[in-house]
Amino acid sequence: MLERASEALREAQRVVVFTGAGISAESGIPTFRDAMTGLWARYDPAELATPQAFRADPELVWGWYEWRRALVSRAQPNAGHLAVAAIEARVPDMVVVTQNVDDLHERAGSSAPIRLHGSLFAPRCSACAAPAPVPSVVSTTSAGAPAAGDVEPVPEGQRLAPPTCAGCGGLVRPGVVWFGESLPADALSAAVEAAARCDLLLAVGTSGVVYPAAEIPEVAARHKATVIQVNPQPTALDRVADVNLRGPAAVVLPELVRAAWGDGPA
């Protein structure tokens, strides 16, 4: 399996790496399908990540996203993110398409990931859509000592009032795509185009059930690209994958890179 995948990767000229929450799991960021733990345990992420939830209880939703942003700010990219950046350094044409709203790909050295679901670091007004400043760095009270520069703790499970827009006074919302909302059209079309022309797509850490993002590996498969999946569990993408590498991204991706190119510098 690993041999077949590494050979295909070594020979590929155009690669798409399509990632989901699983690639950040080993950096300590919980996935969406994992049951939430601690004080968030009584909420379902699929219910918090909606425009209806924000309208009904903006402080709950803003508090949850700020807690996640604080978690991400304190997290480090893992060996999986670093392996993705290493692939970019070796393949002539390589595009990262991510459903994640964290910034761990960029911090690992990926140059310009296409973000299908927005970013935790791009808040905007929910009324007029004007970009809003990212609140100053926050820390969670549940995850150890605050880092230097932290000003405001975001306790787990706690409501937090969203800031208001400097222009119109509307409530500021996270710059992410919620269930029922459209994906950014330019990001989606760039991702579809990259998938249609790649010769290998590597799907990492995604359940493949949220559309239209989950179309990306299907587009690649339809255009006869080799599809390699990295995931410890079976997923909806098993049917389009030519090779399934079962295991955690932070273990399997570095193995794949080593098997393809050895340990030498790019």
Q: Which sequence positions are flagged as catalytic?
A: 117
Give all strands (DSSP E) within 167-225, no chain letters. 172-173, 200-204
> CA 108 to CA 186: how far, in whole Å?
24
**Binding range to ligand OAD, per CB under 6 A, among 6-14, 137-145, 184-192, 230-238:** 230-238
Segment near ligand OAD (CB under 6 A), from 29-37, 106-114, 150-158, 164-172?
A: 29-37
If one asks whether residue 174 binds ligand OAD (CB under 6 A), the answer comes out as no
Q: Judged by CB under 6 A, which of 207, 226, 229, 244 binds ligand OAD?
A: 207
Output the smallest distance, CB 34 to ligand OAD, in A. 7
Strands 114-115 and 124-125 come out as: unpaired
Evaluate whether 19 touches 217 at the Cβ level (below 8 Å). no
Query: Is residue 33 within the footprint of ligand OAD (CB under 6 A)?
Result: yes
Judged by beta carbon, residue 33 or residue 197, the one nearer ligand OAD is 33
Q: Does 217 bind ligand OAD (CB under 6 A)?
A: no
What is the number of the residue whose Cβ is closest to ligand OAD?
Answer: 22
Give the interface segment with ligand OAD, choosing from 27-35, 83-91, 167-175, 188-196 (CB under 6 A).
Answer: 27-35
**Whose structure tokens read 């590494």?**
6
Q: What are phi and psi of 245, to 5 degrees?
A: -100, 105
CA gap 166, 96 in Å, rounded: 34
Q: What phi, psi does 124 have (nearest 5°)?
A: -145, 165
Residue 77 near ligand OAD by CB under 6 A? no
Q: Omega of the bond prior to 212 within 30 degrees of 0, cis? A: yes
| Beta carbon of residue 116, minimum distance to ligand OAD (angstroms, whole number) | 7
Q: Does 20 bind ligand OAD (CB under 6 A)?
A: yes
The encoded tokens of residue 16 equal: 């798409």
Cα 156 to chain centroid distance, Å, stands at: 21
Stretch that binds ligand OAD, among 66-74, 128-136, 149-157, 203-211 (CB under 6 A): 203-211
* Cα 28 to chain centroid, rounded: 13
* Smallest separation, CB 76 to ligand OAD (Å): 15
For residue 145, give Cα distances in angstroms to 70, 105, 134, 142, 159. 12, 25, 22, 9, 21
Residue (70 or 204) nearer to ligand OAD, CB? 204
- Residues near ligand OAD (CB under 6 A) are 20-22, 25-26, 31-33, 45-46, 49, 99, 117, 177-179, 205-207, 210, 230-233, 235, 248-249
